[in-house]
Structures are given as C-alpha cells and as structure tokens.
Structure 1
C-alpha cells in the first residue's frame, strides 16, 4: 500500500500563546512544541504537508510598514505574506528537523513560498471585509484612506482598521512540487497565510501579486485535494466542533457524515468569522473525494487520531 498523506493546517496564533507578545523566543518555543505533537503523524507513517496562518505576524509587519513609511519604501501586502511564509516556515522547518533528529528519523524538511491563483472577478474584490494591520481611531483611519487609497471598516471594539479582499483560492501554483516532495517522504511547509494571492494578466499570462488575504483553511482544503491527501487536519483553539458553542446546550460533535455536516452548515451553526471556514474547508475536501477530515487542537491530537477526541468528518456514506 502507498504511504498516506496528511495535510495539517494550523493557525498563526499557534506561534503565540495567550498572554504572550509574540517575541521571537516565544514563537521559537511554540513552534517546537507544536512540531513535537505533529511527529505523531510522522510516526504513524504519514507523509506530512503543513500549512499555517499568519494573522498576528503579518499584522506586525503592516504596523512596521506604517511606522517607517516615511523612511523605508513600503511593501505591498502580497510581499508581506511572502515574508511571513519564509520567516514562519523557517521556525517550523528548524523545529521539525530537530524533532526528526531527536527521533533518529532521516527525513528532510522544505518550506515552499506558495502562490495561489484567485479569480480577478471574485466578488470579494468589490466588497473588502478582511481586517488587517493595527487598529486606530476613525479619524486616523479616514486620513489614511484618503491618503493611501485604503478601504477601512470598524472591527468591533478594537477600533478602525484597513480592510482588504479575501477571495477564494482557485489553484495552488506550486501544487505539483509540493505533492512530489511529500510523496518522496519529505515534510513540506506550504501555503503560509493562505498563500500569496496572484491573478493572471489576461494578455501576457503573467502572474501578478494582488493585495488580498486568502483564508488559509480554504487554501489548505484545495491543496489537500491537489496532493491527493487521505487526511485533512485543522488545528484550532478548541478540541473540536461544537453546536451551540458557549450556550446552555453546548455539545461537541464526534463523528459527522457529509449529510449531517451540510445540515449543520445550512442551519447556521458555524459562524463565518470562526469555525465556519474550517468546517467548509473540510466539507469541500470530502466533496472532492477526500476520505477523512479532523478538527481538534494540538493538545488533543494524539487522542483525536485514536478516535477519542476531536470532531471527525467522513466521506460519502
């Protein structure tokens, strides 16, 4: 039998625990901690493709851009996404290599700066909604909108922020090399921050970066299909998917079929800003032929892989 492949998606907040500032030392320690948990998949015989978010980190870079704009040339958002793919990929790559070495496992680790095609006609470009960068007062936000052409919006109690489009991923450009590296037994880190969003110029066919943010779970779902993954794991801040989360009838879902998942989605159980994209990502993967999906947190990964924790999604039954 061929070696199965698992795609694991983790959030950018995995690098920063509650109460931390996100220093380099903290991020290094947290990367090592989560990579130690991921070794369970390697030891179970999976080829591993790891994706990650970058929300806090790209927000910090955007703030640095704003504070130094008068002295250092500003970089566009797509370039900053690529920077976080490299910097966070480096932390994970180093941590994975050290965990492999500690277990005397001879595997290589590679980080791929990943470009993702989006549709230039995606409705998200007409109505930007994804907050990025630091919060500010309404007056400052309006000044920057007038000066730099920003779209702005209020982000709850945090204040006003720049908002950018969040188009759906269409195709991962580096999908073939990611698949081949994984099938060769290497651990691959890819699609950081959802990948660098690109469109194709109609006349030249050139790939052009665009200032947007792609949901990393949706990109992970597309990538899992592209690499022929058997398992898509989404690691989040809670141990599974809940109905009536935080309410009097809160209940964790154990095993969920596609039909049940569809009913829960249609009933509005999963908010768009939190669990919604994660469940949608798993559902899309299964709908395109994937075999199994899992949502849990890193602390319960071992129990979840043994069927004793997490929320499991299975294909057509």
Structure 2
C-alpha cells in the first residue's frame, strides 16, 4: 500500500532571492522542483504538495500599488488566491511533464484551498515580497506605512499578519483525489485565510498564513505518514553560521523543542519549519527537513534531518 507524504516547498524554490521575477524564470525553477518531486512519486508515495508564495504575493501587492490609480487593488486574501492559481498552473504543468517522462500513470490537480484561521490576530510577522536595503526599507515605512523587518540576514522585507491555520477546508476532496491516483497541489501560499462570520458564512481575511504551518495541518488532516519540508539547506543545524555549527541527521521532538526554546532557529526562516515538524512528529510519525534536491534520499534515510519522538 502506498504511503502518503505532504511536501512543503518554499517560495524560493519558485523564485530565488535577487532573481528577476519573470514568469519564465519562475517556470524554469518550478520545472527543476517538479523533477525532484517526481522522484518521490516513483517511490510509490501518494503526494500532496504545498508551496510558499512570499515573493510572488509581494510582487502582486507591488503591482496593485503601482496601478492603484488605474485599477482598484484587490485585498490580500484575493492576492493569495491569484498566486495559488498562477503557481499551481506552473507546478501542475511541470509535474505532469515530469511524470510523463518517467512513464507514470499518475495525474496532477491543483486544489484552490481556503484555510480557517482565528480572526483575532494583530502583529505583522510574515515576510512577503522582494528584499530591500535598509535605506529602502526605512523609506517604505515612511512613504507607505509598511511594517518592515530584516529577514535572516538576507535584506529587509515587508511583513504582514500571519495567523495560525485552524482547519483546511475541502480535505475530504483532497483525500478522494489521492485515492484516484492524483498528485494534489494544495494549500498554496499557506492557503487563503478565511473565518466564519456571525451569520455562519465564510469570509476572507487580509493575511498570509505560513506555508509550513499549513503543511503540518494538512498532513495531520489527510493522515499522512510523513511531513516533509524542502528548503535550501541540507539539515537542521544549531549554532548556524558559526565555527560551532552542528548538523543533525536525526533529532527527537524533545531535543528540537529545547533548541527552539533557546532561540537557535531564525524567525521567519528555520523557526516555523522546526515548529511545524515538531507539531507533526508529536503524533508518533516522522517529519523531515531537507534540501530540495535530496527529497528522495531523505525518504530513504540517507539525507536531511528526521524529527520523531523516537530519536
């Protein structure tokens, strides 16, 4: 019987920092990503793929701002849905081509995903969009009223509210698709944040949900065997970037939580990845954090960092 894995890839797997944000550049990156995901499918896994959209939704917001005097800007939740569609299109096409090359009978479908969140959120914490210099960031704070933070030493970015996901809408449909030999792209950009109003109706919220936290919630709700987070480093490390840096091949939930409490992992970068991996692994299953090009090796235990209660 096929095992089930939820794989989360970052927005940087679609657009690299300081890379021109053209459609062609993003499609080329997605094609590389798709080739790696196809290797996992060849190992007889049912796959739900979720992805980030930080650079992309930031660019949509920038487009809206530039054109606001001509075309009324859309709210942030609608911008999230736009990026789910555009990135989903690139992923679905690239994945199907990659699967065809390896003679797989699996198909691919993109699932527009709404995610219930707690509407009582306030502090902006989620980086979106392009990187700015400190001087540019300060000017944007004054000119546009944006909240700006330094993002893991890579430059300054805009931050927006980022509520925690409470429930993924449409999970029964996702599971049905998996059972029909479909690879499902879902929860893109963390999903479209929604809540239930006083009349019991669903409404959108202007926020961006962290894709790793949504990936964890998705993995729990579809009863995945493995939750895998693909990033641009090979392992979870402590004392990162220092002579005392230590990489882990495996780590227990308790040990990972201890390092998390010590502040070993950068906010907006490795921190939500480790938090999400811990949350999933607490159930007795395995979470993996690894480099994009080592996904298949990591599932064989030959790369990445395995997080579980048993280590």
TM over 0.5: yes
Q: Which residues of 2 match residues 275-290 of structure 1 at below 5 A?
A: 275-287=270-282, 289=283
Q: Tell me what 2:298 maps to.
A: 304
Q: Which has the higher strand share?
A: 2
| SS in structure 2 at match of 1:129 | strand
Is 1:195 the counterpart of 2:191? The answer is yes
Regions of 4+ moved over 6 Å: 157-161
Partner of 1:61: 60
From the superposition, tell whether residues 161 and 37 of structure 1 become closer, same or farther in structure 2 (CA, over 3 Å). Answer: closer
Which stretch of the first structure deviates more once superposed, 72-81 or 30-39? 30-39
Cα offset, 1:61, TM superposition: 0.6
Looking at structure 1, the residues matched to 161 and 142 of structure 2 have their Cα atoms a distance apart, in angstroms, of 18
* SS class of match (1:50): strand
Q: TM-score, normalised by structure 1?
A: 0.90
Are the equivalent residues in 1 in contact too, given 2:6–2:226 (CA < 8 A)?
A: yes
CA contact (8 A) 1:119 1:167 kept: yes
Q: Deviations over 1:201-240 (max 9, x none)?
A: 02x1111101011100000000000000001110011011
**CA-to-aligned-CA distance 1:90-116 (integer Å, 9 cap, x gap):** 000001110111122111111011000
Moved more, 18-27 or 188-197: 18-27
CA distance in 2, matches of 1:244, 1:63: 35
The 5-angstrom pairing of residues 118-133 of structure 1 reads 118-121=117-120, 125-133=121-129
Instruction: Name the counterpart of 2:8.
Output: 9
Structure 1: tracts of 5 or more residues without a match: 146-151
Is 1:216 aligned to residue 211 of structure 2?
yes
Deviation digits for residues 29-63 of structure 1, max 9, x if unmatched?
A: 11111111111211111000000000111111111
Pick aligned residue for 1:264 from 253, 259, 282: 259
- 1:251 Cα offset (Å): 1.1
Aligned residue for 1:45? 44
- The correspondence for 2:228, drawn from 230, 233, 236, is 233
**Aligned Cα RMSD in Å?**
2.0
Tell me if the contact between 2:55 and 2:128 (Cα under 8 Å) persists in the aligned partners.
Answer: no
Pair 1:173 & 2:173 matched? no
Measure how far apart 1:127 and its partner are: 2.1
Deviation at 1:182, TM superposition (A): 1.4
Distance in 1 (CA, whole Å) between partners of 2:125 and 2:227 is 27
Structure 2: gaps of 5 or more residues: none
CA distance in 1, matches of 2:41, 2:70: 46
SS for the counterpart of 1:155 is strand
CA distance in 2, matches of 1:158, 1:312: 27
Cα distance, 1:131 vs. partner?
Answer: 4.1
DSSP 3-state at the match of 1:205 = coil
Structure-1 separation of matches of 2:103 and 2:54: 34
- The correspondence for 1:164, drawn from 160, 164, 179, is 160
